[in-house]
Structure 1
Amino acid sequence: MKYLLLTFIVSLLSACTTMEYLEEKQITNDLTYHHDLDNNDNFSPDNEWLVYDTRTDEGGIAASGRIEKVNISTGEKKIVYQLPNNQAWGPGAGAVSYSPVENAVVFIHGLMSVTEANPYQQWRRTGVIINTDQPGKPIFMDARDITAPYTKGALRGGTHRHEWSGDGQWIGYTYNDAVLKALEDSTGQKHNLRTIGVSKRIGAVKVEKDSKGDNVSGEWFSALVVKVTPEPKPGTDEISHAAGDSWVGTNGYKKPDGSPQIARAFIGSVIDKNGKKVDEVFIVDIPDDITKEGNSGQLAGTETAMPAPPEGTVQRRLTFTANTAQPGCVGIVRSAPDGQSLAFLAKDTRGILQIFTIDPYGKNLTQVTHHDSPVEGYVRWHPSGKSLFYVWNGSIVKCNTGSESFEKRFQLLTKPSVPSPTNLVISHDGKTIAFNRLIGNAKQIFTGKL
């Protein structure tokens, strides 16, 4: 009986996985610092370079004073940007992403006014762009103005995990507000809420400098696009937190009339009818013109209110897991290139974390994976839109999204390892996967041919 059971397991594994693992190539080797891909868009437009930060375990991004790139064919490394005399408290430079259409990168840059007493914080940072053909010359993207009255097109806090749109004309990010953080500190009431913003390349925003150097002029126009509230009403679609966001499609998704709609998908925190916080998948449609104020408040914000979304912004809830036995969605919501399918993590009926997809209208909810143990995360789409990559059980896995049985759709690409590989990213041509592995005490970059 044991022999028959073993034979069955071996045959099942042979049917649903491949034992021909990817040939892994280690690209970086310096063991003195991390080469952190940070689950961003790290491939250059020509697929030849990967960009990363050099954060530390103790200091995180604040302690990363350098952005580098490495050639995946030769292993040549180049410094893209370096902060002189960076300290453990900042300014810091990290979480870097490449533009898909030009030789430019964008990353978090802490304020130059940092001190040990007033260090790098979520609400004390901005986005900086570097043309990689002109390394070391920072272009401050989002303007920052914390002096009332505030400036339209500027923000008042810190932007994070910047992501270029498919055409390179927009950058999306998560955001925390310094003005409302100060209000929270003075009142003891919750005001420091994470939300989502976008910047568009439509003109510079000039801000008057302050004595501390906390105000920054920017070259792009910025606006918050997701409305958050400290105390969402139970059983409604109001949210207190928004993150895990990404662009929907390379060029948006198709509206019913066939026209494209630019949007970002994200995870928003609602309160269910029993008063419990539940994370759900949302989408926000973004107007082409983000300079017009809507009726929900001032675009620049006030001393007691977050900057309001521009006119034409539409925020919609797509999932309703709060009404199920396994509530909650997690991770970064990742869109297929055509924008018609959004992938996210949620628990199946057995309570096991799996990949699901849903369309931008909240329809066609589909369970993609059917593993017997939780998917670890790092979900990415292949540029063809026909398969997903992720980490499960210590391995990188590829799973097709067709109608065949799950056993025929998924395959292991790497041998199981402890710790697991992390920070998957797929090249624009779909031929290469890159990821981090911890070697000793340093994250190194590996690649494999798909």
Structure 2
Amino acid sequence: MQSCQTDTAEKQITHDLSYHHDLDNNDNFSPDGRWLVYDTRTDEGGIAESARIERVNIETGEKQVLFDIKNNGVWGPGAGAVSYSPKEHAVVFIHGLTNSTKENPYQQWRRTGVIIHDDRPNVPVYMDARDVTPPYTPGALRGGTHRHEWSGDGQWIGFTYNDAILKALEDSTGQKHNLRTIGVSKKVRAVKVDETAENLSGEWFSALVVRVVPNPAPGSDEISHAASDSWVGTTGYLIQSGVRQIARAFLGTVKDKNGNDVPEVFIVDIPEDITQPGPLGPLEGTDSDFPMPPKGTTQRRLTFTANTAHPGCSGIVRSSPDGSQLAFLAKDAKGISQIFTISPNGGKPRQITECTSDVTGNLRWHPDGKHITYAHEGSIVLCAVNDAPFEEKTQVLTEPLEAVPSNLVWSADGRVLAFNRLVKNETGKATQQVFVLSLK
């Protein structure tokens, strides 16, 4: 592989070694490329113990606190996993319920999405409504949203989700119901509920778009877990009729013919109108089942690795900006984890990398849509997505170090790559710090 020419060496832009500055595989650059946003989670408490959302100026190193929870406990509420809008100077992140206590702490099913406009710090806008009191409310959810991601036009936010009603049902019956799935919120209208310590009104309309079941039929396309999701393209993808379709790509866990779990790449096409109930049931769900996808939602399986020598896919499924290719990790014929791409319309996966050891993840498309960056053997590598020989189309961007890079993210103009590295303080404790690399 070749070494890449850069304008400057990698530059560390956060330096306080007393806490983490975690980018968390999100979209962390402000629209103008000047700021990076991150959370302050801890090793012990994770997001529950993250009391602040901060941003740092990549040129000056100036830090600003966008959100600060006073008297945050080890059990929450917590704030984390933050992403910038590509269109507004606004960020979205997880916020645990404000009534979190030691006995009833931050949980996957006890959190919501909060938006902060960076010129109005500490003024939260609650995105998704939450209603855990029957009768439930269409447009509201009954659990917790996570890993919020803005669409390219800023009008949608996608997320993963766990349901509090079904978690309680699982606890009372001993049968599996607490499954992870995927939903979206759209900026169409506010959803008002009877507010309590557990219920919240939201400014966006929310719906789940992926159907999960506790016990998928072996050999079928039913799934029990949906995650590792992202938007397909900045404006969707071209379906065979030539129309652009908004969609999310994700990993769905199927059962092979022997009943083993296998993560496969799926896509879900999402209708423009998510306010109409579909054939599977009510948008708001029932006491015994999830909120159901809106009318016009279509879920499809794209990969079929379950019966191969090396079944399964991994990593966050990432789309090229034009929506024509979805990148993911899977094992090649030698059992080595490589990057593959597949069309959202289906077809045969195409192997992109030919590494002699596992690609370790952190896939991100360069905004030009012609290159992918990833982590391999402690370095960040840039790979062209073309048919050139592998050694000719790859460039090593950083030297391999013990503190390996993670959480890669590009600025919108493709000129700056940001990432995390663990940096040790004088006692040997390591914290996540933010670095940037400017490329020609």
Q: Secondary structure at the match of 2:162?
A: strand
Q: Which residue of 2 aligns with 1:447?
A: 436
Q: Which residue of 2 aligns with 1:276?
A: 260
Q: Secondary structure at the match of 2:296?
A: coil
CA distance in 2, matches of 1:20, 1:341: 27
The offset of 1:364, in angstroms, is: 4.2
Alignment match of 1:206 (pick from 172, 185, 192): 192
CA distance in 2, matches of 1:48, 1:209: 38
The offset of 1:233, in angstroms, is: 0.3
What does the per-residue CA deviation read over 1:130-159, in whole Å, with 9 as the maximum and x for residues that have no partner? 000111100000000000110000000000
Q: Which residue of 2 aligns with 1:418?
A: 402
Alignment match of 1:380 (pick from 364, 370, 391): 364
The offset of 1:447, in angstroms, is: 0.2
User: What letter matches 2:19 in structure 1?
Assistant: Y
TM-score, normalised by the number of residues in structure 1: 0.95
What does the per-residue CA deviation read over 1:83-130, in whole Å, with 9 as the maximum and x for residues that have no partner? 111111100000000000010000000000111110000000000000
Q: Secondary structure at the match of 1:323?
A: coil
The offset of 1:209, in angstroms, is: 2.0
Q: Which residue of 2 aligns with 1:134?
A: 120
Kept after mapping to 1: 8 A contact 2:79/2:96: yes
Identity within the alignment, %: 66
Q: Say whether residues 1:432 and 2:416 are aligned partners.
A: yes
Q: Say whether residues 1:350 and 2:334 are aligned partners.
A: yes
Q: Which residue of 2 aligns with 1:74?
A: 60
Q: Say whether residues 1:105 and 2:91 are aligned partners.
A: yes
Q: Which residue of 2 aligns with 1:93?
A: 79
CA distance in 1, matches of 2:190, 2:95: 18
Q: Which residue of 2 aligns with 1:17?
A: 2
CA distance in 1, matches of 2:113, 2:297: 23
Q: Which residue of 2 aligns with 1:325?
A: 309
Kept after mapping to 1: 8 A contact 2:403/2:423: no
Flag the 1:309–1:19 CA change in 2: closer, same or farther, 3 A. Answer: closer
- Give runs of aligned pairs for residues 239-254 of structure 1, distance below 5 A: 239-254=223-238
The offset of 1:17, in angstroms, is: 1.8
Q: Say whether residues 1:63 and 2:52 are aligned partners.
A: no
CA distance in 2, matches of 1:275, 1:157: 29
Alignment match of 1:336 (pick from 313, 320, 323): 320
CA distance in 2, matches of 1:296, 1:411: 48
Alignment match of 2:131 (pick from 117, 140, 145): 145
Q: Which residue of 2 aligns with 1:181?
A: 167
Kept after mapping to 1: 8 A contact 2:336/2:358: yes
Over aligned residues, Cα RMSD in angstroms? 0.8
What does the per-residue CA deviation read over 1:270-308, in whole Å, with 9 as the maximum and x for residues that have no partner? 001111110000000000000000110111000001000
Provide structure 2 residue ranges, at least 5 long, that are not aligned to the other structure: 425-429
CA distance in 1, matches of 2:5, 2:188: 49
What does the per-residue CA deviation read over 1:350-388, in whole Å, with 9 as the maximum and x for residues that have no partner? 000000000001214110000000001000001110000
Instruction: Tell me whether 220-229 or 20-29 shows the greater mean CA deviation.
Output: 20-29
Q: Say whether residues 1:54 and 2:40 are aligned partners.
A: yes
Name which one, 1 or 2, has greater alpha-carbon Rg: 1
Q: Secondary structure at the match of 1:79?
A: strand
Q: Which residue of 2 aligns with 1:4?
A: none
Q: Secondary structure at the match of 1:384?
A: coil
The offset of 1:320, in angstroms, is: 0.1
Instruction: Tell me whether 90-99 or 251-260 shows the greater mean CA deviation.
Output: 251-260
User: What letter matches 2:432 in structure 1?
Assistant: K
The offset of 1:411, in angstroms, is: 1.1
Q: Secondary structure at the match of 2:172?
A: helix
CA distance in 1, matches of 2:64, 2:3: 36
Q: Which residue of 2 aligns with 1:285?
A: 269
Q: Say whether residues 1:392 and 2:381 are aligned partners.
A: no
Structure 1: which 4+ aligned runs deviate by more than 3 Å?
A: 19-22
Q: Which residue of 2 aligns with 1:120?
A: 106
Alignment match of 1:298 (pick from 279, 282, 285): 282
